[in-house]
Amino acid sequence: MEDKIIQRPGERILLWFLLAFSIFVLIQALRIPHLENLSSSGAFPIFIALILIGSSLRILWKNRSRYNALNLGEEVRLARPFALPGVVVGYAAILLLYIVLTSPLHFLPSSYLFLVGSFLFLKGATLKKSFPIAALTLAVIYVLFQTIFKVILW
Amino acid sequence: MEAAQAWHYFIMSIVSIKLLAMVAVGTLAGIYIGAIPGLSVTMAVSILISFTFSWEINPALALMIGIWTGGVYGGSRSSILLNIPGAPAAVATGFDGYPLAKLGLAGHAIGLSTTASVIGGVIGVIALAFAAPIISEYSLKFAPRDYFLLAIMGILLVGSLSGESLAKGVFAGALGVLLSMVGMDNFTGQGRFTFGSVGLMSGIHFVAIMIGLFGVSEALVQLHDISLKAIKQDVSRIFPSWRLLFKHMYLIIKCSFIGVGIGALPGAGGDIAALLAYGHARRSVKKPMRPFGKGAYEGLIAPETANNACIGGAYIPMLTLGIPGDAVTAVIIGALYIHGLKPGPMLMIDTPHLFWFSVGCMLLANVFLLIFGLTGVRIFAKMVEIRKGLLLPIIIIISTVGSYAINNSIYDVYWMLGFGIFGYILKMYGFQVGPVILGVILGPLMEDNYRRAMIDQHNNILGFLSQLVVNPLSLVLTLGIVITIVGQTQFWSWMKRKVWKSKKEGI
């Protein structure tokens, strides 16, 4: 099944990153104090870290020929349009901005700006329609969650 | 007396207007959520549980059961109308459902899929009501090592069946277990992976992880085909004829049992049940009304019956063993934990009302499924055509509110965003996020039972390993794990080829 899967640009880079992360987890697990027996606090984390390392190595090894189809430079170049196309990067930036601003600006103003911005960016609605749709959406969300679900919105 | 009490709890959802309304609202919402491509039932339940923290368990459970039942069925709508499955369980529905829609029979296909789903769902509930008490009694004999093995098996099965490779599934499952270990150790109070942060001592809330992985990451994945336009469909006639229904009753019953059986297996969910049932229909129906893949009614009935029957089946290991069958059951187990309940063998003894109440709600949800499924199809057809540019920002806002509602803390929103982006990258490179959630939920169960089993053996590794093969039940589970792992290796393929070749030569 795996042989039929074409190479995804950037997969090898991700796997090396995950392997490095797994080794870091193992080091952290080994630093958990009182590792005197197999039922101590650190034993199970070490076991899990070893599984993480083993499975990342297994994926890298099993797909080595597939991953070698592209050299590192090509892979880096092709990874962006594959995993991070403009629309995803742009929207992730809007999302990040929203999450950062939501605390100082509070829920309603920040969410309103986010909705209008998102509708325009994703071409969900025209400029004229975006403002009332965002207001209506927020009104429904506010009433629903504040009254029915008793969520205290910040 | 016990039977009378069980009956009382069973009809509780019907006699209480509030609970009845919760099941109805949940089912209706589930159908719509499931029908919209990009909105999965797992996503809906994940986001929803954060809002029901402050509720009593009964209305929360009634709502979640409704959403789940409606959501599994709702996925078939977009599969039939747009050939885009609303949920993984509806993938097989599109094989013959969409060709039927292309023949101008979309309404007919929806009506038939609704009735098949309801019959399958009811058979699943009946199976749950009969099987769960028996299995629950048996599961009292399970030792800690058996729970440890069951948890491993659950993650391995989900990993091997839902993704492109077992290694990726194992990595995702182990990652989930790792996330569950962040914070204070339950046994010793020792901080683990906290990096000196007091905030991390209480761990990362699993709901924030779930909303990030299922809500935000899915929204980001959906951006890839943001400009895809929906095709308009004719949905004028939806009620199926009795003759057609009775003609396929035998197939419906057979596929219901496939659904129940697959649902009861830890790790196998509605998607696998539906595909297996479709395969069964292809093999067993010699003279379909149209060729399979070109609008055969049998090819629509089989997966739809099985994926809804699967719900009752999936409840069996969830309530009796505390082992989730798939991502949705993992989320529901999490919800039960939040409400102070512990799914497992003691649940049926300590809180039998919860079991019979769930059975009642599931049955009721199927009744509502029939009502809502056969009405309002025109509005439905409009709903599935909603533009993603409008839908995705709303999902993000609801996810944000859901994450914030966990602890009224903005930090949970940050976690949600982090896991959302991380989940997106994992998905883009063929990793499934289902095993991550299963790992998060099963991690504490797995570790606690491993440590108990190890303490029982005085920390002797040989004693621990020998227990895995000496006890008959443990041996069965150990063999299950070994077969799952070996089944994914080249050695297994080589063996199969060899056996096949020798068989052929023998003939």
In whole angstroms, give the CA distance from residue B365 to residue B120. Answer: 13
Mutate to test the interface with A, among B49, B170, B178 (most CBs of A within 10 A): B178
Contact A39 B397 (CB under 8 A): no
CA distance B15 to chain A (A): 22
CB contacts of B389 in chain A (<8 Å) are 118-119, 122-125
B449: containing domain: 25-32+41-50+58-69+91-456
Using a 10 angstrom Cβ sphere, with 0-12 exposed, 13-18 middle and 19 or more buried, the burial of residue B361 is: buried
| Average pLDDT value for chain B | 82
Least confident of A10-14, B318-322, B366-370: B318-322
Residue B347 pLDDT level (bands cut at 50, 70, 90): confident
Q: What are the CB-based long-range contacts (under 8 Å, 24+) for A35-40?
A: A37/B454, A37/B459, A38/B454, A38/B459, A38/B461, A38/B464, A39/B450, A39/B451, A39/B454, A39/B455, A39/B459, A40/B188
Global pTM value? 0.76
The answer to whether the Cβ–Cβ distance between A34 and B405 falls below 8 Å is no
Q: Enumerate the residues of chain B whose CB falls inside 8 A of the CB of residue A34.
A: 188, 190
Chain A residues with CB-CB distance to B401 below 8 A: 107, 141, 145, 151, 153
In chain B, the percentage of residues whose pLDDT exceeds 90 is: 10
Asked if the C-beta of B481 comes within 8 angstroms of chain A's C-beta atoms, the answer is no
Which positions of chain A have pLDDT values less than 50? Answer: 1-3
Across the range B256-265, mean pLDDT stands at 85
Task: Using CA coordinates, name the residue in chain A closest to B175.
Answer: A52
Give the closest of B51, B174, B461 to A145, CB-based.
B51
Residue B502 located in a structural domain: no
What is the Cα–Cα distance from A55 to A37, expressed in whole angstroms?
Answer: 25
A119–B388: do the CB atoms touch at under 8 Å? no
CA distance B293 to chain A (A): 22
Least confident of A131-135, B192-196, B378-382: B378-382
Output the pLDDT for position A112: 93
Q: For residues B382 and B428, which has the higher predicted lDDT (pLDDT)?
A: B428
Query: pLDDT tens digits, residue range B146-183?
Result: 888 888 877 777 666 556 788 888 899 899 999 999 99
Judged by a CB distance cut-off of 8 A, whether residue B454 touches chain A is yes
In chain B, the number of structural domains is 1
- Tell whether B505 is covered by a domain: no
Q: Is B392 on the interface with A (CB under 8 A)?
A: yes
Residue B289 is assigned to a structural domain of this protein: yes
Residue-level pLDDT at B502: 74
B39-50 average pLDDT score: 74
Most confident range, picked from A97-111, B337-351, B428-442: A97-111
Please name the amino acid found at residue B13: S
CB contact under 8 A, A124 and B390: yes
Q: For residue A84, what are the CA distances in angstroms to A94, B82, B164, B200, B396? A: 14, 27, 21, 30, 19
Residue B440 lies in a domain: yes
Are the beta carbons of A25 and B178 separated by less than 8 Å?
yes
Q: pLDDT-based confidence at B53, cuts 50/70/90?
A: confident
Integer Cα distance of B198 and B200 in angstroms: 5
Q: Do the Cβ atoms of A124 and B387 come within 8 Å?
A: yes
Q: Which of B335 and B192 is assigned the larger pLDDT?
A: B192
Instruction: Give B322 or B250, the one with higher predicted confidence.
Output: B250
Nearest to B190 among A32, A56, A96 (CB): A32
Q: Which of A48, A110, A115 best tests the B interface by mutation, with the highest count of B CBs <10 A? A: A48
pLDDT surpassing 80 at residue B501: no
The complex scores an ipTM of: 0.91
Helix (H) or strand (E) holding B373: helix B352-374
Question: Which band of pLDDT confidence, cut at 50, 70 and 90, is reported for residue B39?
Answer: low
Q: Which residues in A lie closer than 8 A to residue B216 (C-beta atoms)? A: 95
Q: Is B213 helix (H, G, I), strand (E, B) or coil?
A: helix
Question: DSSP letter at B332?
Answer: H
CB contact under 8 A, A59 and B165: yes
Residues of B in contact with A1 (CB under 8 A): 164-165
Domain range annotation of chain A: 2-83, 86-148
- Judged by a CB distance cut-off of 8 A, whether residue B25 touches chain A is no
Tens digits of residue pLDDT in B451-477 = 988 888 888 889 888 888 888 888 988
| Mean pLDDT calculated for residue range B194-204 | 86
